[in-house]
């Protein structure tokens, strides 16, 4: 029997490392280059988002106060908006350049949590839940990973206890994202999104434990905007105040 050896903290360290590699690569090598080793760095970056989705769903299941959890996510989504847009040269006021990639993934993580709350609300009928969740996907559309992050969180959270359905649902939505990315942004980088599948073996050996260090939650919230600010300073030092990815000012 395979040993389940990774705890929550260890998975988050993997995600944070992958995210940092991905963001720094975007800053250092902008405009979607296709050199194999740059693509490989972005493949490593695909390990980040699914871990965040997974633990939003897990956090919702375990939290004693979802409103406090949502408030924390929303507060850091606001902070993360300015840090993310500074990192990549995207205007702080949305939709000046495009409808894509106007704010950070924290915005969609927040709305993914709200979608789980709506899905579990006994006071709402199914058609009302569907309508509200549709509205949530529209609100989250402009963020990094778009509304796909919301739908992936829903797939993971709704199917808790059925790993196959969780992962099948997640990858189904990622496939849609990859298709849209390939058609409207860049075909090579669209295909690259499918490497989120590499997180599945990691989730399979998740042991359900948090880990001994209790500070990981706050470390992530501080680290996320901090590393983006550093990315922004690197961007300005290398290229000046120009956008370097979709949603930027180039």
Say what percent of the chain tops pLDDT 90.
90
Q: What is the mean pLDDT of the segment spanning 125-141? A: 97
Q: Does the pLDDT at position 81 exceed 70?
A: yes
pLDDT of residue 209: 93
Nearest residue to 14 via CA among 42, 40, 52, 56 = 52
Please report the pLDDT score of residue 1 as a whole number. Answer: 41
What mean pLDDT comes out for the span 173-202?
Answer: 96
Q: Which residue has the higher pLDDT, 247 or 242?
A: 242
The pLDDT of residue 238 is above 90: yes
Integer CA distances (angstroms), 234 to 27, 102, 161, in order: 7, 20, 43
Whole-number pLDDT of residue 245: 82
What distance in Å separates the CA atoms of residue 169 and residue 145, rounded to the nearest whole number?
A: 15
pLDDT digits (tens, 9 = 90+) for 20-34: 999 999 999 998 999
Residue 249's pLDDT is what?
A: 64
* Residues 248/26, Cβ–Cβ less than 8 Å: no
* Res. 217 pLDDT band, cuts 50 70 90: confident
| pTM of the entire predicted model | 0.95
**Which residues lie below 8 Å from residue 162, measured CB to CB, with a gap of 6+?**
none
Please give the backbone phi and psi of residue 39, each rounded to the nearest 5 degrees, phi first: -60, -40
Q: What is the pLDDT of residue 48?
A: 98
CA nearest neighbour of 180 among 100, 111, 247, 60: 100
pLDDT at residue number 10: 97
pLDDT of residue 68: 97
pLDDT score of 2: 52
């Amino acid at each position: 029997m395979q040993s389940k050896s990774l705890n929550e903290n260890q998975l988050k360290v993997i995600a944070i490392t992958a995210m940092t590699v991905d963001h720094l690569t975007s800053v250092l090598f902008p405009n979607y280059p296709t050199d194999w080793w740059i693509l490989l760095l972005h493949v490593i970056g695909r390990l980040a988002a699914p871990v965040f989705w997974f633990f939003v769903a897990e956090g919702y299941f375990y939290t004693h106060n979802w409103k406090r959890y949502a408030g924390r996510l929303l507060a850091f989504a606001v902070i993360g908006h300015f840090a993310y847009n500074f990192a990549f040269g995207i205007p702080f006021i949305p939709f000046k350049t495009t409808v894509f990639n106007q704010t950070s993934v924290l915005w969609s993580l927040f709305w993914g949590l709200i979608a789980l709350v709506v899905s579990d609300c006994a006071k709402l009928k199914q058609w009302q839940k569907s309508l509200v969740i549709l509205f949530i996907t529209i609100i989250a559309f402009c963020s990094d990973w778009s509304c796909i992050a919301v739908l992936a969180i829903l797939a993971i959270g709704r199917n808790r206890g059925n790993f196959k359905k969780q992962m099948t649902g997640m990858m189904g939505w990622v496939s849609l994202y990859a298709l849209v990315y390939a058609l409207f942004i860049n075909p090579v980088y669209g295909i690259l999104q499918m490497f989120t599948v590499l997180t599945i073996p990691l989730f399979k050996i998740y042991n359900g434990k948090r880990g001994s260090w209790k500070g990981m939650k706050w470390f992530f919230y501080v680290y996320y905007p901090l590393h983006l600010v550093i990315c922004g300073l690197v961007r300005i030092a290398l290229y000046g105040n120009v956008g370097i990815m979709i949603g930027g000012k180039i």
